[in-house]
Amino acid sequence: MISNYTGIVPGSDMLFIRKLAERLAGKSFLHINSTKAGGGVAEILQRMIPIMVELGIDARWDIIEGDDRFFDITKKLHNSLQGSPETINDDMWEYHLEVNKRNAKKLNLDADAVLIHDPQPAPLIGFKQRGVWIWRCHIDVASPYKGIFENLSRYCTQYDAAIFSVAKFTRSLGIDQFIIPPSIDPLSDKNRDLSDEEIHDTRVRFNLPPDRPIILQISRFDRFKDPIGVIQAYRMVKKYNDCLLVLAGSPATDDPEGEAVLKEVQEYASDDPDIRILMLPPFSDRDINALQRIATVVLQKSLKEGFGLTVSEAMWKGKPVIGGAVGGIPLQIVHGLTGFLVHSVEGAAFRIRQFLNYPEMAERMGTMGREYVRNNFLITRQIRDYLTVWYSQEHKGSNLLEL
């Protein structure tokens, strides 16, 4: 219930959400992405849709379906938009459109507002019926591989507005553009307070000793998350500090590369008994929560990143966090205050050792990080922002201060 967030989230968010919901009550709000499980978009929508429904908005969530070829193409598209050199020929673009055409015939696209998430379903704009259509880009498209964004933008420019997570992610589209960072839900299984028994259960099942420091990275097995670099940093630290490394991730139906990357990581770990590589089943939220609470230091050493919500998740639990200085991670980590930003394996190893050797500093940064997340990255703020964009597009020229 929305009332359960009272006292946890800023009161101003609660007030503004209720005012907006009064104006939008009874209207329909459709979200479409490409997967119900795996990744931050699905996690947010699983929690956000019920809250919007409780507020009186007819909110619903659908996904587009595709075969292996489709998701192989969209993975290449995702990587190339983030700068990786990938070839997407005319036949692949045509198949991307064809799969969206098939989905458009099955989906109910009739809504007062439609929010299309990321490149996979972007061509659905060609089947718009009515209402406000918004393209929500969760990835960094500031420096795409040559020609890729120009091809995608033929769809994006048809939307009424676009939303990006960070200002530097954006590209000129000639439509209204907004900056809305993603968020975490403090009451979800992944972020709620856990009992000692729940934490102990996870520790025992994954054989994590209570008397040794644990370095943790939780993310899908993706080369841009740099799991190999994390192992390299751990090995540097291990020369001086006793510790264990845990790399944990879950599969995503729209990421065909995950299995291959997992095998690469397992081979690189070389059967080190102090490295735990965990492929968690979908919806392992309580275990992820417990692992973050068990950890001594949490990493998100990404080389490219959309936003990296695992950073805010760990900060919400009061943990010292080290992140790659890419994507939306610098928006979450205030370097030297709520954690450390790094640019190399050596930098990551140095900061891990700082946290292990100076626990008082780690605790201080963890406390500051939790408060920073409370004020900036909780789900009520994102709901407020989404409803504000929807209302502003329906009432262009009106004064939102009159709400």
Tens of pLDDT along 39-54?
778 888 999 999 999 9
At residue 31, what is the residue type?
Answer: H
47: nearest Cα among 379, 307, 386: 379
pLDDT < 70: residue spans in the chain:
38, 252-255, 397-403
- The residue ranges of DSSP E strands in 11-139, in sequence order, are 28-33, 58-63, 113-117, 132-137
pLDDT of residue 337: 96
Q: What is the DSSP string of 171-230?
A: ---SSEEEE----B-TTSTTTS---HHHHHHHHHHTT--TTS-EEEEES-S-GGG-HHHH
Helix, strand and coil percent figures for the chain, each rounded to 5: 45, 15, 35
Tell me how far apart the alpha carbons of residues 246 and 294 are, in angstroms, rounded to a whole number: 11
275 phi, psi to nearest 5 deg:
-115, 120
The side-by-side arrangement of strands in the sheet containing 132-137 is: 58-63, 28-33, 113-117, 132-137, 161-164, 176-179
Predicted TM-score (pTM) of the model is: 0.85
Contact 166, 180 (CB under 8 A): no
Q: Which residues contact 275 (CB under 8 A, 6 or more apart)?
A: 231, 234, 244, 245, 246, 247, 269
Contact 274, 244 (CB under 8 A): yes
- Residue 241 is given by DSSP the state S
The neighbour count for residue 157, using CB atoms within 10 Å, is 14
Contact 317, 309 (CB under 8 A): no
Q: Which residue has the tokens 């379903």?
A: 121
Domains of the chain: 2-183+378-396 (3.40.50.2000), 196-376 (3.40.50.2000)
Contact 249, 243 (CB under 8 A): no
- Beta-bridge partners for 141: none
Instruction: For residue 249, give the H/E element and its range.
Output: strand 244-249
pLDDT of residue 403: 55
Contact 54, 2 (CB under 8 A): yes
Contact 116, 134 (CB under 8 A): yes
